[in-house]
Structure 1
Amino acid sequence: MQVDFYQLGRSPLPRVLARIAERILADGGRLLIVAGSEAQAADLDAALWEGPDSFLPHGREGADQPVLIGLECTAANQARHIALADQRWRDEALAFDRAFHFFDADTLEAARAAWRALGARPEISRNYWSQDEAGRWRKTA
């Protein structure tokens, strides 16, 4: 099981999510995006429809959606990848093959606590990603 920690900074969350979703879809995978509220889910839905780069098939309901936005860690679309868009770690994400945990300066301490807790579990591989000054993502741990 792999958990990727993404420290948000220069790029807004919807843009980062879109890039990750594009890669997962290109590999034939599916993604569940977990929002923290109906308002955040609606915002992410709108942002993914209005993305400037390409069409990203997604929805709020249904097993036929390659990218599904929901409020729970339940993948009706049979996704094996989960993105925690609400910046809150939950162990339910460990049921997936890969989890993306996003956090910012306000949720940094909670992300550090999750990083330490997951580090004690040998079956979990962790990666820490941050952006450089040019906006490129760099694996820093």
Structure 2
Amino acid sequence: MPALFYQLTRSTLEQTAETILGRALKQGWRVTLRGSDAGVLSRLDAALWAGDEAGFLPHGLAGGPHNAEQPVLLTTAGGLPNDPQALMAIGGAAVTAEEVAALQRVWILFDGLDGAALAAARVQWRELTGAGSSAQYWSEEGGGWEKKAER
């Protein structure tokens, strides 16, 4: 499967993550959500807990006694501590070509209105595709998600 790059320009990180994570859980997948900023992960953690009962997404922040059992584990560390089928990377968190090859799905979400985040995503795209991973770039600039590039 390709690495799926999502350029957020209309939806928030919280909205997009909640949608994708909900779909992954319905597939029966575990997900490691890897970020580079503990504060952003704490904000995302709070947003996922604040959803209504119908939209509740079971998850946990890394560092607890049950990391390996979490259906969705939010972490700043490398590795895949909850033995997931999927990885979501935010905030420029690293993803390896080996992870892309080994997992059912890899999503890379980035703020398309932030020049530094956009530049980091471009570097990540080049590194992954240069290492042999396939990748797709998705944009929501037209209102809905559209695939803009594939390599």
Match of 1:108 among 107, 114, 118: 118
Letter in 2 for 1:131: E
How far is the alpha carbon of 1:34 from its aligned partner?
Answer: 1.1
Q: 2:58 is matched with which residue? A: 57
TM-score normalized with structure 2 length: 0.80
Q: Distance in 2 between matches of 1:68 and 1:88?
A: 14
- Match of 2:91, SS state, is coil
Q: Deviations over 1:30-88 (max 9, x none)?
A: 11111222212211100111135611111114222111111112222211211112224
For 1:127 and 1:8, the matched residues in 2 are separated by: 14
Indicate the SS of the match to 1:7. strand
Distance 2:6 2:128 in 1: 15
Report the residue type matching 1:41 in the other structure: L
Instruction: Report sequence identity in percent.
Output: 36
**Separation in 1, partners of 2:11, 2:73:** 21
RMSD between superposed Cα atoms in Å: 2.0
CA distance in 1, matches of 2:4, 2:47: 22
Measured after TM superposition, the shift of residue 93 of structure 1 is 4.4
Distance (Å, rounded) in 2 between the aligned partners of 1:120 and 1:38: 29
Which consecutive residues of structure 2, in runs of 5 or more, have no partner in the other structure?
A: none
- Aligned position for 1:48: 48
2:139 paired with 1:138: no
Matched, 1:87 2:109: no
What is the TM-score of this pair, normalised by structure 1? 0.85
Instruction: Assess, with a 3 A threshold, how the Cα gap between structure 1 residues 74 and 89 changes in structure 2: closer, same or farther.
Output: closer
Q: Contact 2:34/2:93 (CA < 8 Å) preserved in 1?
A: no
Gaps of 5+ in 1: none
Change (3 A) 1:4 1:78: same
Whichever residue aligns with residue 85 of structure 2, its letter is: R
Partner Cα distance (2:80, 2:130) in 1: 27
Matched, 1:129 2:134: no
